[in-house]
Amino acid sequence: MGPAVPALITELRRCAGFEDLSGAVAAAEKAAKLDPEGARAAFIAILAELEHVDLEEDAGDVADELWRTRKAVARGLEVCDAVVDGAAGSA
């Protein structure tokens, strides 16, 4: 995985934290197009990490951020699949 994907994952998380779903989705899409396999691994790691977030005393801000992050990651995974399927179809 090149340095661009980790930077885009950082951007995804930053945007999701600042209520910018479109920015988070754009970062996920770009990462998926640059390196589908590396991005997929990063997205799966994010989803696994989110499963352990404690929301018991959350007033809603963290839950909203998690929702934005999951939406962006889901879109990124869709793009990964499309890129990989497109590459397989052209081989």
Q: What is the mean pLDDT of residues 58-65?
A: 93
pLDDT of residue 72 exceeding 70: yes
CA 5 → CA 45, 54, 60, 69, 89, distances in Å?
13, 27, 29, 16, 24
Cα–Cα distance measured from residue 34 to residue 53, given in angstroms and rounded to the nearest whole number: 29
pLDDT of residue 68: 98
Domain that holds residue 17: 4-90
Cα–Cα distance measured from residue 68 to residue 12, given in angstroms and rounded to the nearest whole number: 9
- Domains contained in the chain, number: 1
The answer to pTM > 0.85 is yes
Question: To the nearest whole number, what is the mean pLDDT of the chain?
Answer: 93
Q: Note the pLDDT tens digit of each residue in 15-56.
A: 999 999 999 999 999 999 999 999 999 999 999 999 999 999
